[in-house]
Amino acid sequence: MSSRSNLLNDRTAEHYRRSLAHGVERVAAKIAATDRPFTGITPAELAPSISAIDLDQPLETPQAALDELESVYLRDAVYFHHPRYLAHLNCPVVIPAVLGEAVLSAVNSSLDTWDQSAGATLIERRLIQWTADRIGFGRAADGIFTSGGTQSNLQALLLARDETCRLVREAAGVTGAAGIAEDAKAELSTARILPKLRILTSECSHFSIEKAATLLGLGAEAVLPVPCGEDRRMRPAALAEQLARCEREGEVVMAVVATAGTTDFGSIDPLPEIAGLCEAAGVWMHVDAAYGCGLLVSRRRSLLEGIDRADSVTVDYHKSFFQPVSSSAVLVRDRDTLRHVTYHADYLNPARAAERAIPNQVDKSIQTTRRFDALKLWMTLRVMGADGIGELFDEVIDRAADAWKLLEADERFEVVTEPQLSTLVFRYLPALPDDETGAALTDQANLHAREALFASGDAIVAGTVVEGRHYLKFTLLNPETTLDDIAAVLELIAGHAEQHLSAHSPLSTAQAC
C-alpha cells in the first residue's frame, strides 16, 4: 500500500470509513467486555512489550496495528467508564462528544484564524458566549477554549499580571504622560513592578497557581496561601488580613484566586464575600471553576452565587460536562483585557484583519494552532441539552452525599468534611494507640490499601495528604457508580488495610518472635 493511500482525501474516503469502523468495533467490544477498571499490570511488566516494537517496520494495515494495540494499550488501559473507577477528576464521556471528536479530527480545523476554520470559529465564539451567559457575565464578556484548567489559570493570571502593571503605571501618571522623570519611569517599569506582585489563594487551591506564578516570572513564593476553615473553604477574614498586610508592606496584590471545587475536597470558596473584598481593594478576582463548572447547568446553580463578579473564570468541560480530554476555557468579564495576549503576524493575523472585523481567535489565545475542541461540547448540547448534562452532574453529587452518610456511620473510617460536590477524603482508622507509632501504622495501612487495590484492578481510588497524614479519596464523576459499588470498595479497602496491619502491627511482630 502506498503512502499516499493513507492520506485522507476524496480518493481514500472508503479506506477512512473502513479503518474507523474497525477501530470503533474494537473499542466498543472492549468497553462492553470490561469488568474492572484496570488489569493491575505494572510498568515493569508492560514496558518490555512496547520497547520491543520496531517503529521503523510498519505493520501496513490498520487491522494489524489494532491487533498490536490490543496488547500494548487497550488490554491494560485504565477505563474511566467503569463504575469502580473512583480516583481522579476523569469522567466517562458522552457519545455525542465522542462523535464530535471523530468529526473534528478528520476535518482537522485549526482555530487560530478564520481562513483555517470559518464556521468552527463562530461555533467556538457562540459557546463562549453561552458559557459567559451561564456565569452571569454581561455583553462585554469573551474568552477562549484551552487545553485544560492549568492553561486556563495561566492565561487568567497572565491577564491579571499585565492589567495590574498597567493600572499601577496609570495610577502613577506614567502612561502617556509627558514630563515624567526618567528615574520615575524606570521605577514603574514592568521589571520593577513584578517582584512586588502577589497572588492570594486558598491553601486548598490547585498547584497550577504556583506553576503559573513561576511561568509568569514571579516565582512560586509570590503565591500567598490564605487559611481555610474546617470545611476547607477560604476564610474571608483571613483574606482581608492578607490584603491589608500586603498594602501596609508595599506589596501589590495582582489577583485573588477563589476556587469553585477544590481538587481534594470539592469545596467552594465563599465567592460573594471574596468578590466584595476584591472590589473594595481594586484587585482582580479569578475563579478556578475547573471542577465546579458543572454547577452552571445544575439544579445547585446557587452554589456559584457571586461568580458573575469575577474578572476571569476557568471552566473544564472535560471534568463535569462529561467531555473527552481536552475541552476547557477561560472567560473574562471584560473582553478588552484579552489585548494583553494579542500579537499580530503579517503571515497569519495582520492588524488590518482586525480592522476589517475578521474573527481570528489567535488574537485572544496563548496558543496558535489549536484543535476544534468546542465541537464536542456543541454536539453534546445539540443532542442532550444543558439540562441533560446537569442531570448527570447532579447524580454524582447526590451519590457523594449518600457516600458521606455511609462513611460517617462506619466506625472503621474517618471522613474529613461533608462534600459540596462529588469528592470524599477519608481514611481507614484502625483501633491503634493514639501516639506516633499508631499514626504511622494508620498511614501505612491506608497507603497499602490504595496500592493493593490498584494492583488488583478491582477498583481505583486516589490518595492525598491532610495535615501531614495519608488519606484516601473518592472522586465520583460516573452516574453509573452506585452506593453498592462504593460500599463494596470500602470493604475491599478495609480488607487490604487489615491484612497489612495483621502482618505489621507491633502485636503481630511480637507473636511472630
Classify residue 105: in a domain, yes or no. Answer: no
**Residue scoring higher pLDDT (496 or 186):** 496
* pLDDT tens per residue, range 57-113: 999 899 999 999 999 999 999 999 999 999 999 999 999 999 999 999 999 999 999
Burial class, 512, CB count within 10 angstroms (exposed 0-12 / middle 13-18 / buried 19+): exposed
Decide if pLDDT at 14 tops 70: yes
Q: Which of 311, 343, 375 is the last residue of a domain?
A: 343
Mean predicted lDDT score pLDDT of the chain? 94
Q: Are residues 62 and 164 in the same domain?
A: no
Q: What is the mean pLDDT of residues 235-263?
A: 97
Q: Which of 308, 343, 378 is the last residue of a domain?
A: 343
pLDDT at 191: 77
Classify residue 244: in a domain, yes or no. Answer: yes
CA distance 426 to 429: 9
Q: How confident is the model at residue 187 (pLDDT cuts 50, 70, 90)?
A: low
Classify residue 448: in a domain, yes or no. Answer: yes
Q: Which of 79, 106, 128 is the last residue of a domain?
A: 79
Range of the domain at 475: 386-512
Q: Are residues 188 and 278 in the same domain?
A: yes
Q: Are residues 399 and 270 in the same domain?
A: no
Angle of the 95-107 helix axis to the 374-383 helix axis, nearest 10: 140
pLDDT at 504: 83
Decide if pLDDT at 11 tops 50: yes
pLDDT at 434: 85
DSSP per residue, 352-389: HHHHTT---GGGG-S-SS---THHHHHHHHHHTHHHHH
Q: Are residues 337 and 431 in the same domain?
A: no
Q: Are residues 326 and 271 in the same domain?
A: yes
Q: Domain total for the chain?
A: 3
Decide if pLDDT at 512 tops 80: no
Alpha helices, DSSP H, located in 361-482:
374-383, 385-409, 436-456
pLDDT at 355: 86
In 3-state terms, the chain is what percent helix, strand and coil (to 5)? 55, 15, 35
pLDDT at 433: 87
CA distance 143 to 512: 65
Classify residue 355: in a domain, yes or no. Answer: no
CA distance 47 to 44: 6
Q: What is the mean pLDDT of residues 228-232?
A: 95
Q: Are residues 182 and 286 in the same domain?
A: yes
* pLDDT tens per residue, range 434-454: 889 899 999 999 999 999 999
Decide if pLDDT at 245 tops 70: yes
- What CATH number did the domain enclosing 30 receive? 1.20.1650
Q: Are residues 339 and 396 in the same domain?
A: no
Q: How confident is the model at residue 3 (pLDDT cuts 50, 70, 90)?
A: confident
* Cα dihedral 348/349/350/352 (nearest 10): 140
Asked if 124 contacts 302 with a C-beta cutoff of 8 angstroms, the reply is no
Chain centre distance of CA 145: 13
* pLDDT tens per residue, range 455-500: 999 999 999 999 999 999 999 999 999 999 999 999 999 999 999 9
Q: Are residues 407 and 290 in the same domain?
A: no
pLDDT at 509: 41
* pLDDT tens per residue, range 192-225: 899 999 999 999 999 999 999 999 999 999 999 9
pLDDT at 347: 86
CA distance 15 to 6: 8
Classify residue 362: in a domain, yes or no. Answer: no
Q: Are residues 303 and 178 in the same domain?
A: yes
Q: Are residues 328 and 390 in the same domain?
A: no
pLDDT at 186: 54
CA distance 361 to 349: 9
Q: How confident is the model at residue 346 (pLDDT cuts 50, 70, 90)?
A: confident
Closest among 434, 459, 454, 449 to 495, alpha carbons compared: 449
pLDDT at 513: 35
Q: Are residues 183 and 293 in the same domain?
A: yes
Q: How confident is the model at residue 172 (pLDDT cuts 50, 70, 90)?
A: confident
Angle of the 483-504 helix axis to the 436-456 helix axis, nearest 10: 120
Q: Are residues 155 and 277 in the same domain?
A: yes
- What CATH number did the domain enclosing 416 receive? 3.90.1150.10
Classify residue 263: in a domain, yes or no. Answer: yes
Please state whether beta strands 469-475 and 423-428 pair in parallel, antiparallel, or not at all (unpaired): antiparallel
Classify residue 406: in a domain, yes or no. Answer: yes
Q: What is the mean pLDDT of residues 129-136?
A: 98
- What CATH number did the domain enclosing 308 receive? 3.40.640.10
CA distance 467 to 33: 41
Classify residue 153: in a domain, yes or no. Answer: yes
